[in-house]
Structure 1
Amino acid sequence: MSRKTLLRAGPLWQGGESPYGPIGQPGPVGGLALPAGFGGRVVARSGHKVAGLTWHAEPDGGACFPDGAGWIYVSNSGLSLVGGASALRLRSGGSIGDAYRILSGTELNRSGGATPWHSWLSCELGPRGRVFECDPYGTRAARPRLTMGRFKHQAAACDPERQVVYLTEGERDGCFYRFRPEDWGDLTEGTLEVLCASGAWEPVPSPAALLKGTRHQVRGARRFDGGDACHYAGGVCFFTTRGDGALWAYDARTSTLDRIAFGGVAGTVAITSAPSGDLYLARRGGRIDVVTPDRTVAPFLRLDGPAGAEPTGLAFTPDGDRLYFSARRGRTGSDTFEVTGPFRNA
């Protein structure tokens, strides 16, 4: 299929007005510009102490988990050698009660994904990267899930309806995978499958092979230019490819794959959804867009300041009242933000 045909294929998303109105002027908090009625604060800063923990550099994938009346925000670190993941425990009013490591001794932990049973999948981007299942509550040790493959892992997204985990691969000729566990809720054993150009899923013979990469084991595997972010919502797994700036939608209900035909979504580096059904896309250059169920795309917030700011780790609290994300700003450091305001509930 030609590149021109791919650009025409798939659902068309149109630019339009945001349900929250226009973005205002940057405020005093990290150059954060928001619509009227919204506010933001920095809850953690790389290299600075938060609740006694020095917050990590290169924050990347993140997720929120319920914790009694409060919640926990988990964040990966994309550093070499000293990556891993950390967690912030927040009380019901939003104050920070604790901060702690949930994964150490790993590297290049770029993205990941939350599971329905409230664990965090932290993915290593190294050539033989692993997926680690971590406890956001800090009581159980993290465990590698080697049957999910040894490759340049980027993100993971759970599909509870089909009981599979989708996985992206950060190679220029990478693949799109799904892991089918023997028992849903236990990722110790299962089958790794790769999406083929035919549209079928085929098992990967040796997910943890030393000599032959997973992407080279199945003839006819479909190739993607640098798999990146991945998020499942409403029967569709959305994922991005960094090399060509594309956004893809795999409809698990019909087993069809489309490339989103709207230039405004190019450069998407993180994806999440709100309880309202709205989708949020983090864009290179420091912007987060909102996509409404009618496929209208509009800017939601903007980060002013040094060029090249990249929002990562988008995650809503379980009630949908707060949005967390980090912003990597190169030499000026990285901040982790909380945004509050009149988010739509339906």
Structure 2
Amino acid sequence: MHPLKAVIPRGAATRREFLQQMFLTAGALSISGSLLSACGTSTGVGGRGRFGNIGPLGAPDARGIRVPEGFSTRVVAVTGQVPAPGSSYPWHIFPDGGGVMPKADGGWYYISNSEIPGAGSLGFQFPQLAPLSNIIEIFVPGLGGSGVLEFAADGTVVDAYRILGNTTFNCAGCVTPWNTWLSCEEWPNGQVWECDPTGANSAIARPALGFFSHEATAIDTQRRMVYMTEDMPDGRFYRWVADNTDWPAGAARPALQSGKLQVLKVNGGGVAAALNGPQPVVWIDALSPDQPQDANRHPDSAAFDGGEGVWNHKGFVYFSTKGDNRIWVYDTHSETLEVIYDLATAENPILSGVDNITVTKQGDVLVAEDGGDMQVVVILPDRTLKPLLQVTGQDGSEIAGIAFSPDGRRMYFTSDRGGPNGPGLGITYELLLPEGL
């Protein structure tokens, strides 16, 4: 058993619609606490990636999930139920972003955020209320956080426990190369929290990474940077640049205590022109980096409609924007930005409600849908699309938390507001891939 590593903060189809419904019915602040990845290959065409040859989705299995032939699924955790014998931790409400960290004995940890809204979420749903809700959040700790499923080498769940508590609307994040978990708070004055997946050390807030509606993070160890998305209708794309004191050359990890917060500026034809080809970009220093960024926008920075998942793969940083259903790629080599998928103009528009992103070693971009058709869709290296799975009977939920076991045979994902028999408070699945894939 691991102790609760709680910390006290500083002071319909999409999640935004779902939140609005909750707040309008006064349900958001009365949820019972008892129920309570490093983040592809070149973007150039060519290659079929890992999933290029999978077949079409079959009929729903016993859990209501459609998968290609040779794949199978199982449930590994259900909200409110204890996932492992001997554990006293009931799996958390609204499991969202997730990642996997390997263990020395061949097992692994699956880390999962709990996306429970709180007072600060009022400012996320209704931006005009952010100044007030930010203050309330200081005095009313949230019910969110992060939990862990611990797996043995044979895939058995052997323990479950919490590694972060008293935070709000924890969305995505990533497993760091130095074996910690970055958990993002998605509200206007939210922070990134660094957590120990083993449960041995308490979580630590990292204010150097900025105050905004953090969605996800991705790490570039070569350039000593952290990329971050902001889920607001006028959100920005950020990076934190370490200084030589915080992350000395050759050091295994940064202190995440000092450095520079920057936002992306798109030159050339601007953001709209990125639909037609790569546009040059530059990074500019954020205004008042120690203050909520929604109230301190740099006038030259580019606005993105609802930043979601982000993933760095070999210097190509993929991110999604749900407001306009686009997948973007920032090329750190050429310093350009391009749209590689746009629902409105796509020849094969099977991907909507774009959200979490995971990129395989082979360059497949896996995109989870928030709403849409409740699918995980693969953008192959040649930019063609294939569905990998579909959750049926859970309309109003979203898929999140995609992460692979260290050997790549198992893929974990969640239905944020799903249940074993339809709508619920969250369920976490495992997808077993065919041998040799």
TM over 0.5: yes
Conserved? CA contact 1:327–1:334, under 8 Å: yes
Partner of 1:200: 282
Shift of residue 11 of structure 1?
7.4
SS in 1 for 2:55: coil
1:309 to 371, 392, 397: 397
Conserved? CA contact 1:60–1:111, under 8 Å: yes
Partner of 1:6: none
How many angstroms apart in 2 are the aligned matches of 1:54 and 1:109?
Answer: 17
2:300 to 217, 220, 230: 220
SS in 1 for 2:190: coil
Partner of 1:122: 183
SS in 2 for 1:84: strand
SS in 2 for 1:260: strand
Q: Is 2:153 the partner of 1:92?
A: yes
Q: Is 2:335 the partner of 1:255?
A: yes
How many angstroms apart in 2 are the aligned matches of 1:337 and 1:282?
Answer: 14
Conserved? CA contact 2:44–2:382, under 8 Å: no
Partner of 1:145: 206
How many angstroms apart in 1 are the aligned matches of 2:187 and 2:433?
Answer: 38
Partner of 1:321: 409
Partner of 1:43: 76
SS in 2 for 1:189: coil
Deviation track 1:65-103 (CA, whole Å, cap 9, x = no partner) reads 011211100000110221000001100000011111111
Who wins on radius of gyration, i.e. which is larger?
Answer: 2
How many angstroms apart in 2 are the aligned matches of 1:275 and 1:91?
Answer: 24
Shift of residue 293 of structure 1?
2.2
Q: Which range moves more in the overlay, 292-301 or 319-328?
A: 292-301
Q: Which range moves more in the overlay, 110-119 or 122-131?
A: 110-119
1:336 to 399, 424, 428: 428
Conserved? CA contact 1:46–1:57, under 8 Å: yes
The verdict on how the C-alpha distance between 1:192 and 1:343 changes in structure 2, with shifts beyond 3 A counting, is farther
Whose strand proportion is higher, 1 or 2? 1
Shift of residue 135 of structure 1?
0.8
Shift of residue 290 of structure 1?
2.1
Partner of 1:4: none
The verdict on how the C-alpha distance between 1:154 and 1:88 changes in structure 2, with shifts beyond 3 A counting, is same
Q: Which range moves more in the overlay, 279-288 or 62-71?
A: 279-288
Conserved? CA contact 1:241–1:247, under 8 Å: yes
Q: Is 2:357 the partner of 1:271?
A: yes
How many angstroms apart in 2 are the aligned matches of 1:228 and 1:22?
Answer: 27
Count of residue pairs brought into register by the alignment = 333
Q: Percent identity?
A: 38
Conserved? CA contact 1:240–1:247, under 8 Å: yes
Shift of residue 55 of structure 1?
0.4
Q: Is 2:238 the partner of 1:177?
A: yes
Q: Is 2:330 the partner of 1:297?
A: no
Conserved? CA contact 1:246–1:265, under 8 Å: no
2:374 to 260, 268, 286: 286
SS in 1 for 2:144: coil
Partner of 1:64: 100
The runs of at least 4 consecutive aligned structure 1 residues that moved more than 4 Å come to 10-13
How many angstroms apart in 1 are the aligned matches of 2:288 and 2:83?
Answer: 42
Shift of residue 343 of structure 1?
6.5
TM-score (norm 1): 0.90
